Amino acid sequence: MAHPKRKISKTRRDKRRTHYKATAPQIATDPTTGEAHLYHRAHWHEGKLYYRGQIVIDATEEVEA
Sequence-separated (6 or more) residues with CB below 8 Å from residue 27 = 36, 37, 38, 39
Q: What Rg, from alpha-carbon coordinates, does the chain have? A: 24
11-54 pLDDT tens trace = 999 998 888 888 888 999 988 889 999 999 999 999 999 998 88
- Higher-scoring residue by pLDDT: 63, 57: 57
- Higher-scoring residue by pLDDT: 62, 11: 11
Is the Cβ–Cβ distance between 35 and 46 less than 8 Å? Answer: no
Q: How far apart are CA 61 and CA 48, in angstroms?
A: 10
